[in-house]
Each structure stands twice: as structure tokens, then as C-alpha cells.
Amino acid sequence: MSTNIRKAAAASVDLLDPARKQGIQSLLSKVYNKPVELRLVKHSRPHLDGDILAGVVAQQLQDMRAVPRRIVRDAAWKMKLPSKPSITNMTQARFRPGTVVSSQQLQNSSTPATTSEIMKSLRLRQVTSVRISAAGRLSSRLTADRSQKKEAQRGPKAALPGHGQMVRGYINSLRTFSKRAGKRRIGGYGVKVSLGHR
């Protein structure tokens, strides 16, 4: 029962709380013997940046009690990605000419525009597919094979490696790659994240 209480208390810790952050800053200042300022930002969608997503997966894989297959699978399948109809609509809207608004219309218009409406009108490319692979000493057994690999992907395959797309130099302009290495008690491992944009 005490173990469950400790787990619940650890899960309820809010590092963004100013009082708790002040204590951490004070502790780090004593360790490094210099002023330390923490700037913590809560990420609700880490898949929008490949480096952040790779770091999250690599950190979760350090837990020896966790199942690597579930970590990689959940990281890919719990992301909020646009649906296929919305991807098609975004692609078609990008080829349509935009509407020109005169200065007089802007002056006469008194309706406020929300940030979400402005972002939709910009027709920016979004993350539509993700592939996560982890390889290395992923098992909890000391005699585990080094060549273990776990992989999961979600989204249109056309936006992932292995399909012909526009290339800028030697890098595909619609894909981003990120790598992160980690170490467990029995050895090291590597995490690779590929994000496709439409």
C-alpha cells in the first residue's frame, strides 16, 4: 500500500508550481555554486518537434520496469495527427489562390479573429506521420541480444522514408529526422524519430 502511495505522490508532482520550482532552483544553485534560473514549459504535443519526442522516448526507456514495445507503440499511436480528409483538404487549399482583403475592409471590420482562425488561414504544413524506432539493449535480461529493435509508425506512408518526394539538396524537405541515445543498466540503446509533413 505504501508503494502505491509513493507512486501516486510522485505522479502528482507539478514541477511548474512556482513554490516547487523555487526549491529546485535553490538546490541547483547550491550544487553549481552559481545562480540558476529554470524555464520550464509544459509540452502537450511533443510530436511536433522530433528532438523533443526522441528525448521523451529515450527517457522513458531508461525505466527497467517499463516494456519497450509499449513505450514505442504508445509514443506513435497516442499522438494527435490530422485525419486523411483533413490532410486532403489542406493539400488542395494550398494550391488555391488566397483571397485579397483591401485596407478599407480591414478598417470597417470590427469582428475579432482568434488565433486558431489565423493559423488555419495560413495553410501551414503540419505533422501528418510519425515513425519511431528503438534499437539496442532493450530487454531487462542481462543476457539479452544486442540486436533488439522495436518500431512503430502512424500516418500516411508516403510522408515517411522509402517513398519518392521533393528533395532539397540531399535532405527531403518534407521529413525531419532526430536521434537520441540512452543507457540502461545492461547497456545502451538508440532512438530514431522520423516526422513527415504535409
Residue 157 lies in a domain: yes
Q: What is the pTM of this model?
A: 0.67
Q: How far apart are CA 149 and CA 134, in angstroms?
A: 6
Candidates 54, 64, 52; CA nearest to 138 is 64
Residue 190 lies in a domain: yes
Q: For the domain that residue 166 is a member of, what is the CATH number? A: 3.30.1140.32
Residue 151 lies in a domain: yes
Q: In which element (H, E) is residue 195 found?
A: strand 187-197
pLDDT tens digits, 42-94: 777 888 888 989 999 999 999 888 899 999 999 998 888 888 888 788 777 77
In this prediction, residue 1 carries a pLDDT of 44
**Domain housing 172:** 43-86+119-197
In this prediction, residues 90-100 reach a mean pLDDT of 75
Enumerate the β-bridge partners of residue 152: 132
What is the number of structural domains in the chain? 1
Question: Which amino acid is it at 70?
Answer: R
